Chain A
């Protein structure tokens, strides 16, 4: 009995020390450049495609991804932010460009990738135009995970049924919308959560790209009469019934397939979702670059989104992550990614499943178009969060836009004051 009593404290202490030991970590050393790389991403649905590249990466550089996908963006961001405070910061993770990436760079949390960029630009694996989204203080951080142009997807069968040709001017697009509505088809998609910004982005950038840029730098107020006038154009379209019921939570790809609406303003990665619901490019759906609202613009603005793939500077797998990042930019990796996801490749040497996407990449790079950063990356995060809610509230209850814009401007005033 006495023996038991003596053993008990020792056993308890052992158990506690085991528990603490379990909380600490092993893991690869920082200099390791081959092996299994821990990769976390907010694109949980893309995990199979990321994992499918392992056979290629293993063959090329002897690195495989162990992917953890999150489907909840907020949970993901909280996890990544907290991980920087531990030794468990990820060897590779996806993030957003713009203000979100700047926050990480300012805190020196992501690894410098300047050498990789220099080499890959010299090798012709990436356009120098893309570099600016990854450059802070003259240095580059992270590499492009993908690139997407925001265009208008449409249900081809509906367009064919009502003899609608893809519009080349804003007036044609408006006329098409009116024609669709007259025939009982809702022209455009809208939602009240997350993707609430595309129509605002299309209207503002398409009316005046400088005005659009001014919003992201704080030089233009959301309450500016020009922005109010643009919002009133949106309001007028809402009143005409040109958008689907805002409260629906049905998958937008399924909605386009069902003909709940004829068009949806989305990034070029949306093609994979449409194929996922059984739509075929060319026969079931197509897409076009949205013409500029202002016909006097010499170049049509095209919102572009590029999502980064980053390496945490404190990660134990930093070298492994950088090795994978370098490989990711090369044509072998991008061709494999193009085959797996069907995205527009940022590497001009890469092949892609849907040839028209590659054409789109070269088309928008021509002189007729002006690439503008997507609103999601262009707006500083604290302003973006309020704007996403307010655009959603406006879509749900279309009315005088001033109260919605005032609320966004209040967030903008607070943000820009904090930067002075």
Chain B
């Protein structure tokens, strides 16, 4: 029996080993290497030189980095308000509606486009004298805002572009949540006269909590690492005014060849993302919040 168990264990380990090896090689080793690089001065060509916490100190004294942090914060808030909020509204409006699926479908299509593709489409729309400006000119509006050139307007319009892509999938997730709510409490509430906001606030919203937790958690993580839409629309400019932390990390590493500083930003971003996710999920999934 013991021999059989051992055989089973070895067989299991051998099947798991390639996967574990792959994860260690492509995830853990680069992570450790990045942490190491964050304490060095490294230009990508010569050998890394140990400089202690200098990159972290430089990072927090750099106005561009601080600006990136505030832009990223704006992305987190904006992404929660716009794509998640609109996704919920769309799901509620089409819930139990005949043909609701077909109403939600057009909102889902942009989700199939890559972030960089969304960036390119929207930069065509929002660039100076672009599609939107020309449409506004047609209606006699001439003094248009410079959508992609002025901060923080450029970050706001990029959040709108992200919303255009993300509303559909959020609506789909909320719809699944709404459909999974048991009918009994809903009917009971309706019999008691609950309608509209009262029904939403007292029944639907609390019962949607598990799904809302996931959607908001995913949204926070995704917005903290916003990169592709910004790269596609403004490249972080003009200057560096619309950069997010992920873009600052990329620019410092691959454009300015400051691999150490870029790694320090990567480590900082990873820690912030993990902390945000852990704190949020712990709060939401704690017993006091259980429905």
Contacts from A to B (Cβ < 8 Å): 2, 4-5, 8-9, 11-13, 15-16, 19, 74-75, 77-78, 81-82, 84, 103-104, 107, 109, 192-193, 245-250, 381-382, 385, 389-390, 392-393, 395-397
Contacts and interface: CB of A to CB of B under 8 A. Distances in A.
A5 B237 CA distance: 59
A315 to B, nearest CB: 16
Given A12-B17, A103-B43, A248 B239 contact: no
A84 B45 contact: yes
A247 B17 contact: no
Interface stretch (B207-215, B251-259, B276-284): B251-259
B17 A389 contact: no
Given A5-B7, A77-B254, A389 B18 contact: no
Given A192-B238, A249-B127, A396-B238, A78 B44 contact: yes
Nearest to B47: A107
Nearest to B129: A245
B45 A385 contact: no
A248 B241 contact: no
B44 to A, nearest CB: 4
A93 to B, nearest CB: 14
B28 interface: no
B148 A247 contact: yes
B146 interface: yes
Given A245-B129, A392-B237, A396-B238, A81 B7 contact: no
Given A5-B11, A103-B43, A247-B146, A390 B254 contact: no
Specify which of B17, B238, B255 lies most central, judged by the most chain A CB atoms within 10 Å of its CB.
B238
B14 A9 contact: yes
Nearest to B120: A249
A104 B44 CA distance: 11
A264 B76 CA distance: 40
Q: Which 8 A-B pairs have the closest CB atoms?
A: A393-B239, A396-B238, A245-B128, A9-B14, A247-B128, A81-B44, A74-B254, A393-B238
B23 interface: no
Contacts of B11: 4-5, 8-9
A382 B8 CA distance: 58
A193 B255 contact: no
A392 B123 CA distance: 17
A14 to B, nearest CB: 11
Contacts of A109: 45
Nearest to B147: A247
Nearest to A381: B257
Contacts of B241: 393
Interface residues of B, number: 37
Nearest to B8: A5
| Binding site secondary structure of chain A | helix
A246 B128 contact: yes
Contacts of A247: 127-128, 146-149, 238
Contacts of A390: 239
Contact of A192 (B17, B150, B237): B237
A396 B257 CA distance: 26
Nearest to B154: A247
Contacts of B253: 78
20 contacts: A9-B10, A9-B14, A15-B18, A74-B254, A81-B257, A107-B46, A109-B45, A192-B238, A193-B237, A245-B128, A246-B149, A246-B238, A247-B148, A247-B149, A249-B123, A250-B127, A381-B257, A389-B237, A395-B238, A396-B149
Contacts, number: 95
A397 B149 CA distance: 8
B43 A393 contact: no
Contacts of A193: 235, 237
A84 B47 CA distance: 12
B255 to A, nearest CB: 5
Contacts of B130: 248
Contacts of A4: 11
Contacts of B10: 5, 9
A15 B95 CA distance: 50
A82 B44 contact: yes
Contacts of A82: 44
B62 to A, nearest CB: 10
B240 interface: yes
Contacts of A81: 44-45, 257
A390 B207 CA distance: 51
Contacts of B205: none
A248 B254 contact: no
A107 B45 contact: yes
A392 B235 CA distance: 11
Given A15-B18, A245-B129, A392 B254 contact: no
A395 B238 CA distance: 9
Nearest to B252: A385
B81 interface: no
Contact of B239 (A107, A381, A392): A392
A248 B149 CA distance: 10
Contacts of A77: 254, 257
Contact of A75 (B7, B147, B148, B254): B254
Interface in B241-272: 241, 250, 253-257
A248 B130 CA distance: 8
A12 B46 contact: no
B138 interface: no
Contacts of B250: 74
Contacts of B136: none
Nearest to A81: B44
Contacts of B60: none
